[in-house]
Structure 1
Amino acid sequence: MHVSIYKTVSVLSCGWLGESLAIDLLDKGFIVKGATTSQDKKERLLEKGIDAYQLRFEDLNDAMKSFLNSDILVLNLTIKDLELYRQFLPVLEQSPVKKLILISSTGVYQNSAKPVDENSELSESVWVSIENLMKDNPNYQTTILRFSGLFGGNRKPGNFLSGRSVQNGEAPVNLIHRDDCIQIINEIIKQDVWEECFNCTADTHPSKKEFYTRAAKLIEVPLPIFDEKEGNPSSFKLITNEKLKRRLNYEFIHADLLDSLSL
């Protein structure tokens, strides 16, 4: 069982990543609250032992306050409406939550010819604004996890670019398996690591052409078509995970992206 000073974790929301995370946390002995917009999903979560709530992000009501009666909040949303985060913030500040894990994206960085670490130049992504709004708050401590593209389970990389015309085939791929996302979140909680920001991406960065061609062949779908004549060869970035591995002493479950395709 997971040994932690924290007892309750709320996961907003329980989608493709969040549901698997909630189940994993439950298995490790946490009391887990999970939010979903779907009544069917709520029933499924309840059956698995998760304290499930049917909530939208903008539902700033008693149910949301009950959901936020927790030690830790994992804010795992694809919503990019900054105003909704502004409206949510006072409710979070007034809640018992003392630790926030904010799931962000390596899309916050500008393209770069140099490897991209946590101090690299940021883009004008809305995620930058969301991070800035939510962090450095006296009411709770935040750790930001910037995930690269997610895969695993039924999310097969072979489908991502299948049959599409693709430029910059030699650009490096930045992806992370769902298993690693879940384990990294567990390590943040277990090791009590807060007020940090980490890039979360696999160790290897094969080219788009090599990776997605192999991925499509493995699941027997149409191959991507790589246009070698067009595109900007410098319009890419290679995300480094060195800080994460060093700070958490973390070893990736799926470190090699090409090897992970055959699992």
Structure 2
Amino acid sequence: MPYLNSISILSCGWLGESLAVNMLEKGFNVKGATTSLDKKERLAEKGIDAFQLRFEDLNDEMKKFLNSEILILNLTIKDIELYKQFLPLLEQSPIKKLILISSTGVYKNSVKPVDENSELSESVWVSIENLMKDNLNYQTTILRFSGLFGGNRKPGNFLSGKTVKNADAPVNLIHRDDCMQIINEIIKQDVWEECFNCTADTHPSKKEFYTKASDIIAVEHPIFDEEEGSLSSFKLITNEKLKRRLNYEFIHPDLMKAL
């Protein structure tokens, strides 16, 4: 099977499965990987070329899975040794373009707005980003997502009944609809060798946002500890580079309305 116009998504969890269906609807040949047999069957029923694979499966099935033009690496795995083991197989594959889903957790806390040039933490994601992007066999774009919500992932459940410090600290979140659309725009506009912060336009306080989020689904409010923490232990992620470079308008720019 030719690999052109083909996208491989590793893996098809909460975001990846929806993304796979979205890409299929846009006319791509989509390969989707999951560790679950039930999920594999569900993906296949939706028309996706489904694989039951683990990241560490460096076998013929993984080679078939990587027979695509574009790879979307959408993993929560933080073991950099697994990425190092995976890399030679990726280098030998037809993959020419890589979208690496990372996290805005790579940044240190800051009293100033955080952009793509802000100081990085010692997060393992920084090492993973560096490993995957510094490669001449394919072009990479890194998407640093803030906290994800949408579908059955309701923010009201995130902190319900929990004690929360820094009640006035800003919230950094992005809706799944925007995650998928941003990935679509990267591919459509052929934007590679870039790094983007992906977060909604607005940043309400934790207290304002999670109180309303709890009310909407009728669960217990978080307990906001006004005495502990300080406003120096937060970060406000900016998305200006993303909007400027892709001419992107968010589907859900306002977090309070997105609830």
The normalised TM-score by structure 2 is 0.98
SS at 1:247 equivalent: helix
- Name 1:28's counterpart in structure 2: 26
| Aligned-CA RMSD value | 0.9
Alignment of 1:196-215 (within 5 A): 196-215=194-213
C-alpha distance in 1 between matches for 2:131 and 2:76: 16
Distance in 1 of aligned mates of 2:176 and 2:231: 29
Deviations 1:113-144 (A, max 9, x none): 00000000000000000000000210000000
2:122 corresponds, among 121, 124, 137, to 124
**1:245 maps to what in 2?**
243
Task: Give the secondary structure class of the aligned counterpart of 2:8.
Answer: strand
1:192 aligned partner: 190
Residue 175 (structure 1) aligned to one of 173, 176, 194: 173
Q: Which amino acid aligns with 2:126?
A: V
Percent identity between the aligned chains?
A: 83
Tell me, in whole angstroms, the C-alpha distance in 1 between the residues paired with 2:8 and 2:44. 14
Could you tell me how far apart the structure 1 residues matched to 2:231 and 2:241 are?
Answer: 27
Written as runs of structure 1 = structure 2, the 5 A alignment for 1:143-182 is 143-182=141-180
Q: Which residue of 2 aligns with 1:115?
A: 113
Distance apart, 1:167 and its partner CA:
0.4
Q: Counterpart in 1 of 2:77?
A: 79
* Residues 1:48 and 2:59 are matched in the alignment: no
Please state how far the C-alpha of 1:233 moved relative to its aligned partner. 2.3
Shift of 1:208: 0.2
Distance in structure 1 (CA, Å) of the matches to 2:62 and 2:174:
30
Cα offsets for 1:51-103 (capped at 9, x unmatched): 00000000000000000000000000000000000000000000000000000
Deviations 1:21-45 (A, max 9, x none): 0000000000000000000000000
Distance, in Å, in 1 between the alignment partners of 2:78 and 2:135 is 20
Q: Can you give the 5+ residue segments of structure 1 that lack an aligned partner in the other structure?
A: 1-5
* 1:218 equivalenced with 2:216 (yes/no): yes
Structure 1 letter corresponding to 2:21: I
State the alpha-carbon separation in 2 of the partners of residues 243 and 28 from structure 1: 26
The two structures have a TM-score, normalised by structure 1, of 0.97
State the shift of 1:231 in Å: 1.2
Residue 3 of structure 1 corresponds to none
Pairing partner for 2:99 from 98, 101, 104: 101
Q: Which runs of no fewer than 5 residues in structure 2 stay unpaired? A: none
- Between the aligned partners of 2:230 and 2:60, the Cα distance in structure 1 is 51
